[in-house]
Amino acid sequence: MPELPEMENYRRLLSQSILNVPITDVVVNREKSLNVTIDEFTSALKGSKVIFVERRGKHLVFHLHNGGRLLLHLMLGGILYLGRRDEERPSRSTQVEITFGDQVLYFIGLRLGYLHFLTARETENALKDLGPELLDRRMTKARFVELIGKRRGALKTTLVNQQVVAGIGNCYADEIAFDARIHPLSKIQDLPEESLEQLYDSTVKVMHEATDGGGYMEMPFQEGDELTGAYNDECKVYDREGEPCVRCGTTIVKAEHTSRKVFFCPNCQHEV
């Protein structure tokens, strides 16, 4: 599932490509991906413009010039692709296609995800339970330690809880724990303050590196895009079961916790 780095990468690329370009066509191939009828959705979008693209946790919010919003959550398997009209379209099925001038934004894999047309207030209400943003300037080390330190339970479970902090999922929870040299199943309540402070430093480091590195998406955003997905090769433990640890050479192992895969180095990361 796309996480903060993947969605932030998309936000940056979309902001360079579609802002203030009139929407000239809308194709919906799966009405269940919407929250309104196809006619309502198409009528609301045609002729409008996206003036701002915001990311909130794992969501993107497209701000329309008429005050409306498009709220996107890609969920598992969702991706975006922007192509020119005269280019070959993606071979995968698309649930929604929005045309901006001579470019088409394809929403792919929205079987579990959604693209909802909402008012500003409805959007705010839909996102109200999300925790604070990790990369917001207001997220200081002291605030992070306070937020995380009062939780109970496994570190990984806490990091992926979107009501605690927004944007971390399975992949980066494991990467953060590895960078901090903390076992992902350590109990939050047992971690000393210095470990929580290190956890903050590792969170900021991994999130910035992964975002600037294009995240781990499987498909480029557009033709010629060599950034999107490039960070997949930089992951140290996630999906690296059986490979040697980049720090000590010990074999990376995979476990399961609350139905989630957990990857870690049993030598570098000790459970508190």
195: part of which helix (H) or strand (E)?
Answer: helix 193-212
Q: H helices of 18-81, where?
A: 38-45
Q: Which residues of the chain form CATH 3.20.190.10?
A: 4-127
Question: How far lies 45's CA from each of 71, 102, 104, 228, in Å?
Answer: 13, 16, 14, 27
> Is residue 266 among the annotated active site residues?
no
Q: Which helix (H) or strand (E) covers residue 175, if one does?
A: helix 170-179
Residue pLDDT, tens place only, 48-72: 999 999 999 999 999 999 999 999 9
Token pair listed for 208? 């910035």
The catalytically annotated residue of 2, 5, 184, 220 is 2
pLDDT digit string, tens, across residues 120-135:
999 999 999 999 999 8
- Round to whole Å and give the CA distance between 155 and 150: 12
> What fold, for 4-127?
N-terminal domain of MutM-like DNA repair proteins (3.20.190)
Distance CA 199, CA 113 (A): 30
Q: Class of the 141-264 domain?
A: mainly alpha
Q: Are 26 and 102 in contact (CB under 8 A)?
A: no
Does residue 252 come out as left (phi exceeding 0), alpha (psi in the -120 to 50 range) or beta?
Answer: beta
Helical axes 141-149 vs 193-212, angle rounded to 10°: 120
Residue 226 is a catalytic residue: no
CATH 1.10.8.50 in the chain: give the residue spans: 141-264
What's the pLDDT at 102?
A: 93
In the block, tokens 């198409």 appear at 42
Q: From 64, 86, 62, 63, select the one nearest 72 (Cα to Cα).
A: 62
Instruction: Give pTM, 2 decimals.
Output: 0.94
Q: How many residues does the chain have?
A: 272
Would you call 2 a catalytic residue per the annotation? yes
Contact of 152 with 186, CB cutoff 8 Å: no
Adjacent-strand bridge partners of 53: 62
C-alpha–C-alpha distance, residues 252 and 244, integer Å: 6
What is the per-residue pLDDT for 179? 98
Q: Which of 50, 45, 225, 206 is nearest to 135 (CA)?
A: 206
Of the candidates 58, 69, 156, 236, the residue annotated as catalytic is 58
Q: Is 20 exposed, middle or buried (0-12, 13-18, 19+ CB in 10 A)?
A: exposed
Question: What is the structure's pLDDT at 271?
Answer: 75
Ranges of the chain with pLDDT below 70? none
CB–CB of 188/147 below 8 Å?
A: no
Choice among 187, 260, 261, 266 that is catalytic: 260
Average pLDDT of the chain?
95
Q: Taking a C-beta distance cutoff of 8 angstroms, is the pair 110, 78 a contact? A: yes
Residue type, 184: P
Residues 6+ apart with CB under 8 A from 88: none
C-alpha span between 118 and 124 (Å, rounded): 9
Indicate if 3 belongs to the active site: yes
pLDDT at position 16:
96
